[in-house]
Homo-oligomer: A and B are copies of this chain.
Amino acid sequence: MLKRYLLAPGPTPVPAEVLLSMAMPMIHHRSPDFLPILEAAKKGLQWLFQTKNDVLIICSTGTGGMVGSVNNFFNPGDKVVVVNGGKFGERWTKICQAYGLTVEEIVVDWGYSIKPSAVEAALKKDPSIKGVFVQATETSTGVYHDIEGLAKVVKNYPETLFIVDAISALVAQDIKTDEWGIDVMIGGSQKGLMLPPGLAFVSVSEKAWKRNETSKMPRFYFNFKKERENLAKNQTNFTSAVTLIIGLNEAINMLRKEGLENIFKRHATLAHATREAVKAIGCGIYSKESPSNSVTAIEAPQGIDGQQIYKNLREKYGITGAGGQDKAKGKIFRLAHLGYADTFDVITGIAAIEMVLKDLGYPVKLGTGVAVAQEILMK
């Protein structure tokens, strides 16, 4: 029997409580049974997003939320800035270009975080830039971008919307949507929210709603205005993903019991322990700046293939992490500590890495990294 452990940066493990809540008999999304369920989800998401704005609930993957954030607030030819520091930064560029926006990319070296001053320089040069797109956590490099710093910059430009893909950051990072002034923020179900894939969440500020009025792109499925109108009636525009929304409420209940401050502290500690532990066994951290609390991108030791580590973790030890993508492929492997994750998930991951490295002939003293993690996690 090989027990399986899911330590990937999404989908993440779904707690049994959530799985079982989703096994309840189906109910009809337009019936009075469902309205209080959607209302609870709506309020729960506002709590989690730290916002008083509407948080739309869309039946799609997180990418659907990203697409909607482009085609509900812009027009073809609009000039926007995309922070591209990895695979998901690239995705912003591709989506914006697919919809005919003119993209000025600020390319950030993989493993580094954006300097808000770089965005400021771009906006100063052209204050008519219509939007700044960024990831909170760039999952491919394990970097958390300085959303607070960026928000401070963008806030001064009345023409510019600040749009944050927080799909893999939500729950793991303390992002103060309203306080900082984020106009559009996107979350997804299968990350910190401990749910299966299938829901995108999008918070929208009044500044963004105003812009929505002037955006004339064709849209039907991701029609945020219609979603907003339906949300006011505790409905969604099309058939609600009833099961996932029931699970969402269960997940939010679990998170509420812990409290936002504790949740963020837990993720910070798990991430810190992971980083220190892998450093102690001779691996580097790929994120040279601002490593994220969601996922750690770990550099394989010299002479060892990162993909091999990922593969051996899976095949020999039942641990599903993630490999590296594109230019990081082979150089790194990734371990998440996101959502339904605690002390012993980190210890399991670190212990398994030690064992895989030893298998591969790397000189590691078993227990070294584990001890470092234990030390940090006991505090």
Interface membership of chain A positions 7-45, coded 1 if the CB is closer than 8 angstroms to chain B and 0 otherwise: 010111110100110111111110111000000000000
Give the residue name and chain of the B residue nearest to A6 (CB): B26
Point out the residues of chain B lying under 8 angstroms from A243, CB to CB: 22, 196-198
Tell me the complex Cα distance, A31–B7, Å: 12
A59 interface hit (Cβ, 8 Å): yes
Contact indicator A99/B29 (Cβ below 8 Å): no
Instruction: Check A25/B13 contact, CB under 8 A, given A196-B241, A198-B241.
Output: yes
**Interface residue ranges of A250-265 to B (CB < 8 Å):** none
Instruction: Check A62/B239 contact, CB under 8 A, given A25-B4, A26-B11, A198-B244.
Output: yes
A367 interface hit (Cβ, 8 Å): no
Give the residue name and chain of the B residue nearest to A191 (CB): B239
Instruction: Check A98/B220 contact, CB under 8 A, given A11-B29, A241-B198.
Output: yes
Instruction: Check A59/B239 contact, CB under 8 A, given A26-B6, A31-B320, A220-B67.
Output: no
Tell me the complex Cα distance, A256–B294, Å: 42
Contact indicator A12/B26 (Cβ below 8 Å): yes
**Interface residue ranges of A201-249 to B (CB < 8 Å):** 217-222, 238-244
A119 interface hit (Cβ, 8 Å): no
A63 interface hit (Cβ, 8 Å): yes
Contact indicator A22/B22 (Cβ below 8 Å): yes
A314 interface hit (Cβ, 8 Å): yes
Contact indicator B60/A221 (Cβ below 8 Å): yes
Q: Identify which of B14, B31, B219 contacts A98 (C-beta below 8 A).
A: B219
A190 interface hit (Cβ, 8 Å): yes
Contact indicator A63/B26 (Cβ below 8 Å): no
Cβ of A246 to closest chain B Cβ, rounded Å: 9
Contact indicator B63/A221 (Cβ below 8 Å): yes
Cβ of A171 to closest chain B Cβ, rounded Å: 16
Q: Identify which of B26, B32, B314 contacts A14 (C-beta below 8 A).
A: B26
A61 interface hit (Cβ, 8 Å): yes
Point out the residues of chain B lying under 8 angstroms from A20, CB to CB: 23
Q: Which residues of A contact B (CB under 8 A)?
A: 4, 6, 8, 10-14, 16, 19-20, 22-29, 31-33, 59-64, 67, 71, 94-95, 98-100, 188, 190, 196-198, 217-222, 238-244, 314, 320, 322
Please, could you name 15 A-B residue pairs with CB atoms under 8 Å apart, sorted by A?
A: A4-B25, A13-B25, A59-B61, A60-B60, A63-B221, A67-B220, A98-B220, A100-B218, A196-B244, A197-B241, A197-B242, A198-B198, A198-B244, A217-B218, A218-B218
Q: Beyond the given A19-B25, A28-B320, could you list 17 further A-B residue pairs with CB under 8 A, ordered by the A residue number?
A: A10-B239, A11-B26, A11-B28, A12-B26, A14-B25, A19-B22, A22-B196, A22-B243, A31-B320, A33-B320, A62-B239, A64-B238, A67-B220, A67-B221, A95-B220, A197-B240, A218-B218
The 7 closest A-B pairs by CB, nearest first: A196-B243, A19-B23, A61-B238, A197-B239, A98-B220, A67-B221, A63-B238
